[in-house]
């Protein structure tokens, strides 16, 4: 992922999404060759020269100050997440590209104890690239009951939430509004890519999903950014039926790469009772988690176009 190209694509996409009337400019009905604002109009709103903004959007200038980036962000009507993403992309474009193999992600004992203590509350720990690093019994039962519950313990083949959402039919059927869930995954992954433009495993994941899922490719091209902090989802679980939960993402102190994802139901609701039932479910039947020998393995297990990994990952 080229930092300059990503910065230019983000600016162009956001500019194309604004109309003159959105930013207080008069539209005289003249024919526009491109959708949205012209570069000259955006530069005027940001208080920078048109030539400077053009160089920035074309990747020919990487020295924008934080103040200039703030002004451009305001002109583009970016929210807090968008502003942060803009600064991340500009910072990545400045840095000399040095590719380091990312370290293997682990979960400390205290976090594992926390997952167990949550009991009926489904919970999992997601890593930088949305790999599932750990989950409690109810989290496994709710999010991926068809997968081996011990899968997160093997760093070489951990379940990946983005892969599951886009490539696994079980997960797709789990969400009543799958498209909203999928868009949230993409927008959160965009923010992560902005913070870590030189992560080769993250780049491989994005490339794999782009090649394997036209829906992912289309959403990725929109350059939307939004953190997955909290969202209400109706989930149609094959064991307990429909449950409505608020999925909340919490960050351990000082750690922006790991997230503790909780699924909380309204107290006293049928959904909470369903989660209580799931907490006592055990995946002790091989057929509940292994692919049918008579058919192809699930796509999460096949790992379509999954990059090769070293033995120490």
pLDDT attached to residue 235: 96
Q: Give the pLDDT confidence score for residue 172 in this predicted structure.
A: 96
Q: pLDDT by residue for the chain (313 residues), tens digit each? A: 556 788 888 888 888 888 777 777 666 555 666 678 888 888 888 888 888 888 888 877 667 788 888 888 888 888 888 888 888 888 765 655 555 677 889 888 989 999 999 988 999 999 999 999 999 999 999 999 999 999 999 888 899 999 999 999 999 999 999 999 999 999 999 999 888 888 889 989 999 999 999 999 999 999 998 888 899 999 999 999 999 999 999 987 777 788 999 999 999 999 999 999 998 876 654 444 433 333 343 333 343 333 334 434 4
Q: Which residues pair with 250 in a beta bridge?
A: 260
114 vs 126: CA distance, rounded Å: 14
109-302, what's its fold? Beta-Lactamase (3.30.450)
- CB contact at 8 A, 237 and 173: no
Q: Output the pLDDT for position 284.
A: 52
Contacts made by residues 36-40, CB under 8 angstroms, sequence distance 24+: 39/15
Q: Return the closest-CA partner of residue 190 out of 221, 149, 212.
A: 221
Q: How far apart are CA 117 and CA 260, in angstroms?
A: 13
Q: What angle do CA 48, 71, 79 make, to 5 degrees?
A: 145
The torsion angle over the Cα atoms of residues 202, 74, 253 and 229, rounded to 10 degrees, is: -70
Pairing verdict, β 123-126 and 259-264: antiparallel
Query: Which secondary structure element, helix H or strand E, spans residue 259, and what is its range?
Result: strand 259-264
Query: Do the Cβ atoms of 198 and 97 come closer than 8 Å?
Result: yes
CB contact at 8 A, 289 and 283? yes
Between CA 167 and CA 286 the distance in angstroms is: 22
Tell me which fold the domain 3-94 belongs to.
434 Repressor (Amino-terminal Domain) (1.10.260)
**pLDDT at site 285:** 44
What are the structural domain ranges in the chain? 3-94, 109-302
pLDDT of residue 1: 52
Name residue 225's beta-bridge partners: none
The pLDDT assigned to 274 comes to 93
For residue 233, give the 3-state DSSP assignment.
Answer: strand
For 143-158, give the DSSP string: HHTTS-TTGGG-TTS-
Angle, CA of 79, 85 and 86, to the nearest 5°: 90
Tokens standing for 127?
């890593």
Long-range own/partner contacts, residues 210-213 (CB < 8 A, 24 or more apart):
211/305, 212/166, 212/167, 212/304, 212/305, 213/166, 213/167
pLDDT the model gives residue 308: 37
């Amino acid at each position: 992922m080229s930092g300059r190209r990503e910065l230019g694509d983000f600016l162009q996409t956001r500019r194309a999404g604004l109309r003159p009337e959105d930013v207080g400019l008069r539209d005289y009905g003249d024919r526009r060759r491109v959708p949205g604002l012209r570069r000259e109009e955006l530069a005027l709103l940001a208080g920078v020269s048109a030539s400077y903004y053009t160089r920035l959007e074309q990747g020919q200038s990487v020295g924008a100050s934080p103040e200039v980036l703030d002004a451009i962000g305001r002109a583009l009507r970016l929210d807090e997440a968008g502003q942060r993403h803009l600064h991340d992309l500009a910072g990545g474009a400045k840095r000399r590209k040095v590719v380091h193999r990312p370290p293997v992600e682990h979960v400390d004992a205290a976090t594992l104890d926390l997952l167990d203590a949550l009991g009926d509350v489904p919970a999992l720990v997601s890593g930088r690239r949305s790999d599932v690093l750990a989950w409690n019994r109810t989290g496994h039962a709710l999010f991926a009951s068809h997968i081996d519950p011990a899968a997160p313990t093997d760093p070489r083949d951990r379940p990946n939430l983005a892969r599951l959402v886009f490539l696994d039919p079980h997960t797709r059927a789990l969400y009543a509004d799958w498209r909203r869930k999928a868009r949230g995954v993409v927008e959160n992954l965009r923010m992560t890519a902005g913070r870590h433009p030189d992560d080769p495993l993250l780049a491989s994941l994005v490339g794999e999903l782009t090649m394997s899922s036209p829906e992912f490719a289309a959403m990725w091209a929109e350059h939307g950014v939004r953190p997955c902090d909290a969202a209400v989802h109706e989930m149609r679980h094959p064991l307990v039926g429909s449950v409505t939960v608020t999925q909340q993402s919490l960050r351990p102190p000082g750690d922006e790469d790991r997230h503790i994802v909780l699924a909380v139901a309204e107290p006293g609701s049928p959904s909470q009772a369903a989660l209580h039932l799931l907490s006592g479910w055990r995946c002790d039947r091989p057929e509940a988690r292994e692919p049918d020998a008579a058919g192809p393995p699930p796509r999460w297990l096949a790992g379509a176009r999954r990059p090769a990994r070293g033995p120490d990952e």
